[in-house]
Amino acid sequence: MGEFNGHDLMVAKLKGEFTWHTHDDTDDFFLVLKGSVTIRMREGDVTLGSGQLYVVPRGVAHCPVAEEGAEVLLMERVGTPNTGDVGTAALRREI
């Protein structure tokens, strides 16, 4: 969607399970716009509905899951690979 103070603002459509991953240098911001998302973490799951947000602290392994599909606003530093690792990052599509 845009950029804000060195951060990408992205709206993503999620469906199903993403990969388990960690961001060692940055937190991971999720704001659910539509639907619901469960963020699985080894310390316990967090389930979010429309209008709810959660920030996964840096270094915490997590796996977002949207069983029925969801639209989410993500905010992260420009250039942050979505899996925390450039080698395994999913392709980024701009529409």
What is the DSSP code (8-state) at residue 89? P
Dump pLDDT digits (tens) for 13-46.
999 998 898 888 889 999 999 999 999 999 999 9
Question: In this model, does residue 91 exceed pLDDT 70?
Answer: no
What Å distances lie between residue 72 and 37, 43, 69, 87, CA to CA?
A: 9, 22, 10, 24
Domain boundaries, the chain: 2-77
| Predicted confidence (pLDDT) at residue 89 exceeds the cutoff of 60 | no
Please give the pLDDT value at position 17: 93
- Give the CATH fold of the 2-77 domain: Jelly Rolls (2.60.120)
What's residue 59's pLDDT? 94
Residue 86, pLDDT > 60, answer: no
What mean pLDDT, rounded, does the chain reach? Answer: 86
pTM of the predicted structure, to 2 decimals: 0.81
Assess contact for 22 and 84: CB atoms under 8 A. yes
